[in-house]
Amino acid sequence: MCKVCGCGSDEVMVAGHAHHHDHGDEGHQHHGHAHDHEHKHEHDHEHHHDHSHHYGKGPAGAHVPGLSQSRMVAIEQKILAKNDAYAAANRRFFNDRGILALNLVSSPGSGKTTLLIETIERLKANTPISVIEGDQQTETDADRIRRTGVPAIQINTGKGCHLDGHMVGHALDSLAPQPASLVFIENVGNLVCPAGFDLGEAHKVVILSVTEGEDKPLKYPDMFHAADLMLISKTDLLPHVDFDVARCIDYARRINPGIKALQLSAKTGEGMEAWTRWIAAAHALAMTGAATLAAE
Amino acid sequence: MHEMALCENILQVLEEQAVEQDFAAVKTVWLEIGPLAGVELEALRFSFDAVTSGTLADRAKLVIIETRGEAWCASCAKLVPIQHRFDACPLCGGYRLEILGGEELRIKELEVV
Supply the CATH classification number for the domain B2-68+102-112.
3.30.2320.50
Residue of A79, A187, A259 to mutate, testing the B interface (most B Cβ within 10 Å of its Cβ): A79
Contact (CB<8Å) B23/A254: no
Lowest mean pLDDT among A60-74, A102-116, A215-229: A60-74
Q: What percent of chain A has pLDDT over 90?
A: 66
Nearest to A183 by CA among A127, A106, A227: A127
pLDDT interval class at A147 (50, 70, 90): very high
Residue of B15, B16, B87, B97 to mutate, testing the A interface (most A Cβ within 10 Å of its Cβ): B15
CA distance A29 to chain B (A): 6
Q: Please state the rounded mean pLDDT for residues A145-154.
A: 96
Instruction: Using alpha carbons, list the distances in angstroms from residue B13 to A13, A223, B19, B26, B56.
Output: 10, 26, 10, 12, 11
Contact (CB<8Å) B95/A161: no
In this predicted structure, the answer to whether residue A196 has a pLDDT above a threshold of 50 is yes
Q: Please state the rounded mean pLDDT for residues B75-90.
A: 94
Nearest to A69 among B95, B106, B113 (CB): B113
H or E element: which one contains A186?
strand A182-186
Contact (CB<8Å) B18/A255: no
Please say whether the structural domain A82-295 has been given the CATH code 3.40.50.300.
Answer: yes
Instruction: Classify A148 as helix, strand or coil.
Output: coil
Where exactly are the structural domains of chain B?
2-68+102-112
Residues in chain A within 8 Å Cβ distance of B84: 221
Pairwise CA distance, residues A51 & A49, whole Å:
6
Q: What percent of chain A has pLDDT over 70?
A: 76
Pairwise CA distance, residues B1 & A226, whole Å:
13
Say what the pTM is: 0.78
Instruction: Classify A260 as helix, strand or coil.
Output: strand
Contact (CB<8Å) A255/B86: yes
Nearest to B19 among A20, A77, A257 (CB): A20
Read off the pLDDT of residues A84-95 as tens digits, 9 standing for 90 and up: 999 999 999 999
Nearest to B61 by CA among A63, A37, A47: A37
Under 8 Å CB pairs connecting chains A and B tally to 134
Phi and psi at B80, nearest 5°, equal -130, 150
Contact (CB<8Å) B108/A82: no
Read off the pLDDT of residues A247-295 as tens digits, 9 standing for 90 and up: 999 999 999 999 999 999 999 999 999 999 999 999 999 999 898 887 6
Residue of A21, A75, A157 to mutate, testing the B interface (most B Cβ within 10 Å of its Cβ): A75
Contact (CB<8Å) B85/A222: yes
Q: What percent of chain B has pLDDT over 90?
A: 89
Nearest to A234 by CA among A154, A100, A75, A118: A118
Contact (CB<8Å) A73/B112: yes
Burial class (CB in 10 A: 0-12, 13-18, 19+), A38: exposed
Nearest to A79 among B10, B86, B88 (CB): B10
What pLDDT score was predicted for residue B55? 96
Where exactly are the structural domains of chain A?
82-295
Measured in Å, how far apart are chain A's first and last C-alpha atoms? 30
Q: Which residue of B has its CA nearest to A10?
A: B12
The count of other CB atoms within 10 Å of the CB of residue A135 is: 20
H or E element: which one contains A230?
strand A229-233
In this predicted structure, the answer to whether residue A96 has a pLDDT above a threshold of 90 is yes
Instruction: Using alpha carbons, list the distances in angstroms from residue B89 to A217, B67, B73.
Output: 18, 19, 7
CA quadruple A286, A288, A294, A296: dihedral, nearest 10: 60
